[in-house]
Structure 1
Amino acid sequence: MKTDFKTIVISDVHLGTKGSKAKEVSRFLKQYSCENLILNGDIIDGWQLKKSGSWKRKHTRFFNRILKMIESNNTKVFYLRGNHDDFLDQILPLQIGNLSIQNDLVYESNGKKFFITHGDVFDSVTSNFRWIAYLGDIGYTFLLWLNRQVNYHRRRKGLSYFSLSQYVKGKVKSAISYIDEYETELAKMAKSRGCDGIICGHIHKAENRTIEGITYMNSGDWVETMSALAEDHKGNWQLIYYSEIDFKKESEETIIPIDSKIDLKTVAFSNLSGELKFPNFKI
């Protein structure tokens, strides 16, 4: 059954790479409908496409699904620039009908104000030492390749999926320290802008928590975690994981409001209140 959300946020799909779960994210979007869809950066991986990446039919189908959402549900789509799709700088800002392409967004909903950004602008490594960022990208790409080999053998043995890169991040002290600092600095930025919270991506770590009175939310990624943020019509935010969705109930014909009682496994739930509006943009 289709669930109707007010807003869905996804990031870090990395279309054009072998690790991109394009088929899964398209199926996810087919499962739900929403008034607003925010694509929060690194949707297309321009870095990999310049090197060894390739564009597949399933990558095109992802955008076909978005066009279908615009056509069928009049969904407003906001594509925010990330570091891997920095080629968008050449056309920013751009608005075509229900599609807006821009750097970031201030989102007001239920009396709360959220600053939405991919997050790389606050990453001093990516911003000031681009060659180091590329080197890190190479290392991460290798980890993803190795991860595919490991999980191929795990599947043959009937074992569940294992994220090698997430395991490495959890064991390396410098990575843990970086993530903590990243989240704290983003929360400070939201506060300095007079916002109640911040919504980001970039580090491929889904999260929904409070940092010194500021709501910090990260939508995760569609390379490993396969997660998204969603807001219902009452202003409740939640993280949804692809692996926990019951696709047996999937149906195109029926749309059920999220306010109704449904069996949807989620984590990190918080309550907000108010009306939605996108300032400075006329749709």
Structure 2
Amino acid sequence: MQTKLKDLKTHFKTIVVSDIHLGTKGSKAKEIARFLKQYSCENLILNGDIIDGWQLKKSGSWKRKHTRFFNRMLKMIDQDNTKVFYLRGNHDDFLDQILPLQIGNLSIQADMIYESEGKKYFITHGDIFDSITTNLRWIAYLGDIGYTFLLWLNRQVNYHRRKRGLPYFSLSQYVKGKVKSAVSYIDQYEEELAKMALAKGCDGIICGHIHKAENRDIDGIHYMNSGDWVETMSALAEDHEGNWQLIYYSEIDFQKSADIVELPKTIEPEMKIVAFTKLDQNPGLSDFL
């Protein structure tokens, strides 16, 4: 075993990311690729809305930086022997055509049960909740304003904030926090998914979808949400003792080095490129949810 002298990373047992929305202007593809260079893991769980098929069908575009994310993922499989689980989200529902699919260390599936340190977690993107609740007034409200417009406006606001030396400000998160129906929806969302975990005999649930990072207890159920890589830029990470934490990109010290153990390399079969053509869903008002 060797310790690298440069490009050192912190090694976790499992890392969960979601809602990258590759193919859209709002996607922080460069940041997520840099994040995954900083950290290594045994299991990488991509919990839905990684590729935004809806936006690609409408007005999105695929950039080189979006491809680099998958290059980084494949290097993790090759160099660190990382197992990658890509779970379906509502924006990458084109995966319905091929799942379940396994190619070497890459598994594509709808959801999963994750067991670690004597505990079971149900992992799902979380869009299933939209079919459970009828209280979606806040989505209509945000849709009327236009979530895409909010993101554009947010970029303009933060451009001027940076010039003044001020920290990043999330306009859409601010709106979600102020609109009563938005707060109500998020509370319902978290409570319903906690109930779902209980019904499945699990100790906790890990989800995404609403772009709100969280790690807390709800009536004895460990509820976790990995956030997103459009604004929050956050991920969930589990250490080898079964402890979970939220990591925010804005708080990472990329200059700080940490020793890691270099894992043996394995060569995986060539990944099959799967084209998606069935993108018949209209995202309507909730473009990024």
Task: Provide TM-score, normalisation by structure 1.
Answer: 0.85
Contact 1:207 1:220 in 2 (8 A): yes
* 2:85 pairs with 1:78: yes
* 2:102 pairs with 1:117: no
- Report the equivalent of 1:270: none
Post-superposition offset of 1:149: 1.2
Equivalent residue letter for 1:39: L
Post-superposition offset of 1:157: 2.2
Post-superposition offset of 1:52: 1.1
* 2:175 pairs with 1:160: no
Matches within 5 A, 1:170-181: 170-181=177-188
Deviations 1:96-141 (A, max 9, x none): 00000000000010010000000001212899x9xx88x8398211
* 2:103 pairs with 1:96: yes
Deviations 1:209-229 (A, max 9, x none): 010110000000000100000
Choose the corresponding residue for 1:67, options 74, 78, 89.
74
Equivalent residue letter for 1:152: Y
Specify whether residues 68 and 118 from structure 1 end up closer, same or farther in structure 2 by C-alpha distance, changes over 3 A only.
same
SS at match of 1:38: strand
* 2:13 pairs with 1:6: yes
SS at match of 2:223: strand
SS at match of 1:16: coil
Choose the corresponding residue for 1:25, options 32, 45, 60.
32
Post-superposition offset of 1:156: 2.2
- Report the equivalent of 2:202: 195
Contact 1:13 1:42 in 2 (8 A): yes
- Report the equivalent of 2:41: 34
CA distance in 2, matches of 1:126, 1:72: 43
Specify whether residues 126 and 80 from structure 1 end up closer, same or farther in structure 2 by C-alpha distance, changes over 3 A only.
farther
- Report the equivalent of 1:280: none
- Report the equivalent of 2:248: 241
Deviations 1:157-214 (A, max 9, x none): 2222110000000100000000000000000000000000000000000000010110
CA distance in 1, matches of 2:164, 2:219: 45
- Report the equivalent of 2:114: 107
Equivalent residue letter for 1:22: A
- Report the equivalent of 2:260: 255
Equivalent residue letter for 2:33: S
SS at match of 1:194: coil
Q: Which moved more, 1:142-151 or 1:75-84?
A: 142-151
Specify whether residues 53 and 137 from structure 1 end up closer, same or farther in structure 2 by C-alpha distance, changes over 3 A only.
farther
- Report the equivalent of 1:208: 215
CA distance in 2, matches of 1:85, 1:138: 24
Post-superposition offset of 1:153: 1.7
CA distance in 1, matches of 2:80, 2:68: 18
- Point out 4+ residue stretches in structure 1 off by more than 6 angstroms: none
Contact 1:11 1:42 in 2 (8 A): yes
SS at match of 1:203: coil
CA distance in 2, matches of 1:137, 1:39: 30
SS at match of 1:204: coil
* Superposition CA RMSD, Å: 2.1
Contact 1:31 1:250 in 2 (8 A): no
Equivalent residue letter for 1:68: K
CA distance in 2, matches of 1:13, 1:178: 22
CA distance in 2, matches of 1:126, 1:16: 29
Contact 1:120 1:126 in 2 (8 A): no
Task: Provide TM-score, normalisation by structure 2.
Answer: 0.83
- How many corresponding residue pairs? 252
